[in-house]
Amino acid sequence: MAGGGFLKDARYKNFNLGPVVSIFSSIDTAYRDVRAKAVAPLFSPARLREESSAQGSIGRHVADFLCQLCAFRQAGIKTDILDLCAKLSIDVVSDYVLGQPYGGLTEHAHLNLAERQTSDVKLSANGFIHAIVGFSRFSLLPNRLFKLVYFLSQKMGHSDEVDKSFRRIQEFMGEVMKCTKEDTRAEFYQDRLLASGISFLETTMQSQAILFAGGDSTAVILATIIFHLTRSTEARTRLLHDIRTALPTAEDNRKPDIPFLRACVKEGLRLGMANPTRLTRVVPPGKNLTIDGILIPAGAIVGCAAYVLHHDPAIFPDPFVFRPERWIDDERNCGLYRPHMERSLIAFGAGLRACLGKNLAMQQLLETVVAVVDSEVLEGARTCEDHIEVIQWFNGDIKGHRVDIEW
């Protein structure tokens, strides 16, 4: 809840990293604050702007992403944009936060486009990511029951692909942490945690967790935005006009604010179900809560779901339709603008426990959407499905793990 008065409940123990309590799963605010404050400077807007240049870690990977998307278009190859977005996101978060790119966009560079299509190669981290998404479906269970169900699910769902993916993640983290020990001058996520007195083992686990937290949800949202922009010629045309009108006027290498660009990203955040289910909290002692005349006593577990807020027709008319103009209060929004929309958008959570990497995710989304639309790579493209179907676990899981477009 906003203001930090409602603490997380015991269910978040289910998100611990084995024996390690993660920044996300921590119920103890003092424990979290030490770690969160150590890494928070990494996500400052000024630092992120520097990394969005063509030479920066964000700009370089966005350029590589666009180059591959353009190559698929030129070859007329059906493209899984969810996988391509996942490769981009894990490279951005690993390079920017940990100082070393995972290599998602380059790990299949030895294959030509036809071979990639034939073998349907995917990001090697997918097994790791899908396993985390899969076990989060049980996260509302009491911790002891969760451990039992998780153990059984792992036994039944065990596969060589998942094992191989986990080994690749562990190898990558080994490389990252080896460099950390050898170069004490660096100022990345793991360095800041170690400098704050966090153990080497915990730092490794916390850094591994950021690969999932920073990669999966951003990839889902970016794929959702590209999916809807592919389907909406009107939105794409307006955005292209605004981008080309604004960019030449930018001064001092600062990228201009483009209201319709932010509107498209917000609409993608609203419709993209990265975390659709409720974020639970505990009503604190001495704070009986009354909602719509119903008294909720202290100690009760409450929560709100992004799906419910993001699809409230009273706030978002035609809630299942991609209409970025709703976020702009002008004559072209068809009366869709509502004053409480910002408050109802909780894609990154809300209050003091909101997502630490929100600024990084937003910067990647904005930069990539500008690059994709300005390149006109989506012209002539169509989506292979009419809608994106999501399985509503704690982390939204796109059915089939793919979102295809073709030219």
**Three-class SS state of 235:** helix
Distance CA 227, CA 81 (A): 8
Distance CA 341, CA 321 (A): 15
Residue 67 known to bind ligand = no
Contact (CB, 8 A) for 193 and 207: yes
Distance CA 21, CA 262 (A): 35
Distance CA 165, CA 330 (A): 48
Which contacts qualify for 104-108: CB closer than 8 Å, 24 or more apart? 105/61, 105/64, 105/65, 105/68, 106/64
C-alpha triplet 183, 188, 191: angle, nearest 5°: 60
Distance CA 275, CA 148 (A): 24
Contact (CB, 8 A) for 316 and 337: no
Contacts of residue 200, defined as CB under 8 A and 6 or more positions apart, other chains included, come to 177, 194
The burial of 407, by beta-carbon neighbours within 10 Å (0-12 exposed, 13-18 middle, 19 or more buried), is given as: middle
Please report which residue ranges of 232-315 form alpha helices under DSSP H.
233-246, 259-271, 306-310
CA-CA-CA-CA dihedral for 250, 254, 256, 262, to nearest 10: 160
What is the residue-wise DSSP string for 93-118? HIIIIISS---TTTTTTTS-HHHHHH
Residues tagged in the binding site annotation for heme: 355
Residues tagged in the binding site annotation: 355
